[in-house]
Amino acid sequence: MAFGLSPKHLSEFPLEDLSPEQFLVIAIKTAEKLGWNIGSINKSGLQAYTKMSMASFSEEVSIKIINGKALLKSECTGNQLMDWGKNKENIAKFIASFKELKQNVLPEELEQAYEELKNSFDPDADEFINISPISAKEKLTGILSVFIPVRGYFITPLLIDLNIVLFIIMSSTGVNILMPDGESLLLWGANFRPLTLEGEWWRLLTSCFLHIGIFHLLMNMYALLYIGLLLEPYLGKAKFLAAYLLTGIAASASSLWWNELVISAGASGAIFGMYGVFLALLTTNIIEKSARKSLLISIGIFVMYNISHGLRSGGIDNAAHLGGLVSGIIAGYAFVPGISKPEDLRLKTFTIAAMIVVVMIGASYVYTNIRTYDLEAYDAKMEKFGTMEKLALEMYFMPSTASEERILHEIKTVSLYYWNENKELIREADRLYLPALIHERNKKMFEYCNLRIKLCKLLCRAIEEKSEQYAEQIDDINQDLEVLINELSLE
């Protein structure tokens, strides 16, 4: 079985008594009889696309006439993992219809048809004029070829290699390969609003090359490989690299704008950007018309599924995905004039330069217009809270020989004092500009102080009245405290 991303079926078919020109004419008539859309024709063969159906997003059927035989290949244009025998069926239908037509056509009819056909293509051209949307996949001859740059597939493997090498280096320093902790991700450059806005703007880019575990890496690299094979032949090295980096930055800026305390990392924002570029091209004449509809549906379903899955699931940075997708669509349309005129280097340079300016202006606007949280002031207050909490809890560490008078004095003059001070400290902290999650935490901490004060007062009554009647209330408060402490510890 041939190595590749898409399901395919290959077969050889001898020309027998036919010349290459005669075989080509019958092959074209066969494709037309089967209802396939013919994309490109040259003297060595043709490319055709099957119709959409419930069983398939369409397949590309290519026929190449080489050394007295025809190489037949049917390959899925979409990103489905299985073709359920559709590609093999296409080749079988072609061969059967070809043999039937061959029996009913005269040699002179074939010669006349070829003379008319020559007017529709360059008879000296060995390559198809239009780029096949899946032709670059032929560059993958084995698993190692995924990582090796070649013409038409150059930037994609370098990006894949860079992501993998960085992950290996992170892992070699002790970062967990399955689920790295937030501290490790931040150390290596993940995007996090409090840090990014405190002058560490480079996180907008570095976060695009980090991954939260090996499964996250593998899924993103597969998606990058697939879109890279489809898109890089159209964009070329410079535009492809520019699109990847710029949509990645746009995705990170979107995440920065939307998320308050989310640690964001991964290439998915930039990858969504590349899918956005390709979606834009699929609405133009840049992509072969016969394959356009099937690829548009296939890529559209992939994008919509991942967006909807992210909305339903937690822990997925949809802001980055949407930011990358939208910026990619805009970039795709911006690239169309340059792709249509590949010889115009000034147009290509201007387009890339204009995109850099637009993305930098957008990212700068986001960066400078998000108010910075008062986290440093909040941390200082929480440190003070912890110190006073420790003093307030000293009552529990008094010696067993301590008298009731000493215990009462400790509770009234020390514990109650510091719990009330901590209540006031929480009020002050809650007036700071903080994320909503921290404001919610402040409410729980305020309730925690109230429960401690209530407990201290009940303990004083029980000691002063030498009564057991408050025991049940004291137990209830201790249970409430335990629940609240557990909740706070998990946040």
| 344-391 pLDDT, tens digit each | 889 989 999 999 999 999 999 998 888 888 888 999 999 999 999 999
- Active-site entry in 132, 216, 321, 327: 321
Distances (CA, A) of 157 to 145, 302, 408, 422: 9, 22, 73, 56
Confidence at 224, pLDDT banded by 50, 70, 90: very high
pLDDT score at 375: 84
* Percent share of the chain, pLDDT over 70: 92
Q: Does the pLDDT at position 123 exceed 70?
A: no
Please name the fold of domain 143-185+198-369.
Rhomboid-like fold (1.20.1540)
The secondary element (H helix, E strand) that includes residue 93 is helix 86-103
Residue linked to tokens 């018309």: 289
Q: Is there a catalytic annotation at residue 268? A: yes
CATH architecture of 8-130: 2-Layer Sandwich (3.30)
Lowest-confidence pick of 123-137, 261-275, 277-291, 476-490: 123-137
Confidence at 317, pLDDT banded by 50, 70, 90: confident
Instruction: Tell me whether domains 8-130 and 143-185+198-369 share a fold.
Output: no
Q: How many angstroms separate the CA atoms of 64 and 321, rounded?
A: 40
- Average pLDDT of every residue of the chain: 88
pLDDT score at 1: 34
Phi-psi region of 106 (alpha: psi -120 to 50; beta: other; left: phi over 0): beta
pTM tops 0.85: no
Q: What is the pLDDT of residues 198-210, one digit of tens each?
A: 889 999 999 999 9
Domain boundaries, the chain: 8-130, 143-185+198-369, 375-490
Lowest-confidence pick of 23-32, 301-310, 336-345: 301-310
pLDDT score at 114: 87
pLDDT score at 413: 94
pLDDT score at 178: 92
Distances (CA, A) of 278 to 3, 48, 360: 24, 21, 22
- Active-site entry in 268, 294, 298, 415: 268
Per DSSP, 264 falls in state: B
Residue linked to tokens 């308050």: 260
**SS3 of 73, please?**
strand
